[in-house]
Amino acid sequence: MSGFETGPHPNRRTLLLGAAGALGMATFLPAAGWGAGVSSQQDYPPNWPPVEPYGDADTRKDLEPRGDNSRVLDLELRSRDQELGRVWIRDTYVNRFVVDGQEVYVATGTTKVASRPGAAPWNDGIFLWIADSLDGPWKLVDTTEIRPDAEKGKVWSPEFVGENEPDRTVVAPWQRYAGEGDEKRGDVWAPEVHHFRGTWYIVACMGDHSRKVGSFLLKSEGGIAGPYRVVRGNLDKPFGELNPGTPDGIDPNVYYHIDGGIYAEGDKAWLVLHNDLYAEFEDDMEDIVQKTNLPKFGQTRYDREPYLEGAHVLKHEGKYYLMHAAWNKKTRPGGTVRQAYTREGERHQYDAIIAVSDHFEGPYSKRWTAGIGAGHNNLFVDGDGQVWATFFRNPAAGYWADPSRVDDAAVAGVVRVEWTGPEGNRLYVERRG
């Protein structure tokens, strides 16, 4: 979660829209909307009217990452990537930091070993890539001085359990691999990287096949390459309490809240968990202040709230944007096709949905579809003030699992995001002018 206040940025859309474009977009607007008179709101792209009923998905193609508004980052290949010719990655995370006056862009995500089709039931840890700009070159972070004989760029793995010392834990007992051979288990999911008060942190999650499932924090004792250790609050278990919403087939006695991230503002930082919870960190970042009964975001829920993942918060232009990943599911009530964020139905696209608030804790507005197929991502702001979102094209089900498309799924994608101004206060994947 990015906690840095973002400032104003040029409105490229105004420069691209001519009179015909403005009239075309006005067909989607209420009478008093964008283009309806002399107003500061004319300088910004419009809000689209809400899709009704609340909970239905916006399926307009303009909300997809396309060739004109997005790119796939050219990450440095590891030996395991040579055959595919690119990095296979899920839950892509990218962010920008300024460290000692220098910009650094960081990329990471959920990766897999060469011998497996996906990241479960086990993978081999967390890799980081860095660059001076989004244009790259994107290089694996140099870990060779820390582990000369290990694979470059790997900053944490259950394999590093041998580095544990009496007063320093690199891999906690609950994070170790379970089983061997075909029975091996233990996958790490959805890492995020943060630079807060001069220290590098990684927040990540042990996945469904691990000894315990849930979110944890790693703290660097050096630079971005590490070495990292587990913080005090995760020596025995993940953050928070057992999650009563355990998926089928998972032991409810080991399943905590997943998809942890960090939101930071000023000198304070908060843990954000799916899909409602947050907790303030202690000042030393070794644990969360409130260990049980964590507070919940004030959200405008759907009538039948679906399973949501990947909660993320960005503060932009004085407003707080809470984003979730939700499956856009197809149902056929009465023989007609409905696409909605619902519990039932056939998974189609893994979307990014966003709500906005004046306060971090809420209450948040009704949600809207911000990006089609862009779910389980993060928002960040580049050095020019342009907002971006990541995407990866989920190959687990639906549109990107189709055999004709799956070879283009699981990528390190970024897409430009547009802000609809101080009256609209929405973020969308950059739409066509």
Is 282 exposed, middle or buried, given 0-12, 13-18 or 19+ CB atoms closer than 10 A? middle
pTM, full prediction: 0.91
Residue 259 shares a structural domain with residue 219: yes
Residue 396 shares a structural domain with residue 433: yes
Secondary structure letter of residue 359 according to DSSP: S
**Taking a C-beta distance cutoff of 8 angstroms, is the pair 398, 327 a contact?**
yes
Edge-to-edge strands, sheet with 129-131: 90-99, 102-110, 129-131, 139-140
Residue 263 shares a structural domain with residue 209: yes
Number of domains into which the chain is organized? 2
Residue 334's contacts (CB-CB under 8 Å, 6 or more residues apart) are: none
Give the end of a domain, one of 236, 264, 296: 296
CA distance 66 to 47: 20
Residue 312 shares a structural domain with residue 329: yes
pLDDT value, residue 351: 98
pLDDT value, residue 40: 59
Residue 204 shares a structural domain with residue 309: no
- Pairing mode of beta strands 379-381, 387-391: antiparallel
Half-sphere exposure of 146 (CA within 13 A, CB side): 20
pLDDT value, residue 393: 98
Residue 359 shares a structural domain with residue 420: yes
pLDDT value, residue 29: 31
Give the end of a domain, one of 296, 331, 350: 296
Residue 410's contacts (CB-CB under 8 Å, 6 or more residues apart) are: 88, 89, 90, 392, 393, 394, 395
Residue 288 shares a structural domain with residue 402: no
Residue 261 shares a structural domain with residue 322: no
Residue 265 shares a structural domain with residue 122: yes
pLDDT in tens, 388-433: 999 999 999 999 999 999 999 999 999 999 999 999 999 999 999 7
For 202, the domain range is 74-296
Residue 232 shares a structural domain with residue 123: yes
**Taking a C-beta distance cutoff of 8 angstroms, is the pair 221, 170 a contact?**
no
Residue 251 shares a structural domain with residue 372: no
pLDDT value, residue 222: 98
CA distance 367 to 369: 7
Question: Residue 246 belongs to a domain with what CATH number?
Answer: 2.115.10.20
Residue 291 shares a structural domain with residue 311: no
Give the end of a domain, one of 296, 316, 349: 296
- Pairing mode of beta strands 2-6, 309-316: parallel
pLDDT in tens, 141-200: 999 999 999 999 999 999 999 999 999 999 999 999 999 999 999 999 999 999 999 999
pLDDT value, residue 232: 98
Q: Tokens in use for 276?
A: 């409602």
Question: What beta strand segments (E) does 207-306 contain?
Answer: 214-223, 226-230, 261-265, 268-272, 278-280
pLDDT value, residue 297: 98
Extract the residue ranges of the chain whose pLDDT is less than 50.
1-2, 4-39
